[in-house]
Amino acid sequence: MEALLASTLTVAIAEIGDKTQLLALILAARFSHLSGAKTAIILGIFLSTLANHFAAAWVGQWAISFISPELGRYLVAGSFFAIALWVLVPDKMDEEQSRFYKMGPFLATFILFFIAEMGDKTQVATVVLSAKYDALAMVVMGTTLGMMIANVPVVIAGHFSAERLPMTLIHRGCAVLFALLGVVTLLF
């Protein structure tokens, strides 16, 4: 249960202001004229995140099996500290991927989210959380739930703007959360 809760909270907070959350906003606005688009976008986010985070968690489980538990603990803690610093640099959306829009809201969302998550801090966090907790299913469920908690309201609201949120405060709070996870990993 700890793996599920830690993964959910960590990713939900880390996702605020992330490029994939901005992508959710762009997709919701882009397809707002289509009936059922919000459902298709939410389903695309869910399935893409599930696939991406399953692969990331599997890599975390696989990689940690090659090193000693003591070294693994230091590497996981160091990774949490690195993510804490990384999260202080807010993401900006890269150029639009308009060729994918022709595929419709579900496929465009699935493909664009999968690509956007590659090497993203929430994907890296999934690798690290999986290595720390050795509970692949709970980590994948938690990180996917965290992504949904952060992105579904953006899709539903559509007109919602991330600029209205205190992004600096949110990023600092998220950095503190990752740093605390690093400290807890070192101590326990």
Average pLDDT over residues 155-169: 66
Place of tokens 């559509």: 158
Residue 48 in this model has a pLDDT that exceeds 90: yes
Q: Is the pLDDT of residue 162 over 80?
A: no
Summarised one tens digit per residue, pLDDT across range 8-18 is: 998 998 888 77
Helix axes 121-133, 69-86, angle to 10 degrees: 160
Residue type at 173? G
For 159, phi then psi, to 5°, come to: -85, -5
- The answer to whether the predicted template modeling score (pTM) of the entire model surpasses 0.75 is yes
Least confident of 44-58, 97-111, 142-156: 97-111
What pLDDT, on the 0 to 100 scale, is given for residue 94?
47
Residue 149 clears pLDDT 80, i.e. is over it: yes
Which helix (H) or strand (E) segment holds residue 50: the answer is helix 37-64
Q: pLDDT at residue 63 above 50?
A: yes
Check whether 139 has a pLDDT greater than 90. Answer: yes
Closest CA to 53 of 122, 116, 134: 122
Question: How much is the average pLDDT of 144-163?
Answer: 82
Any residues with CB less than 8 A from the CB of 18 and at least 6 apart, and which?
91, 120, 121, 122, 150
Q: Which has more confidence, 148 or 174?
A: 148
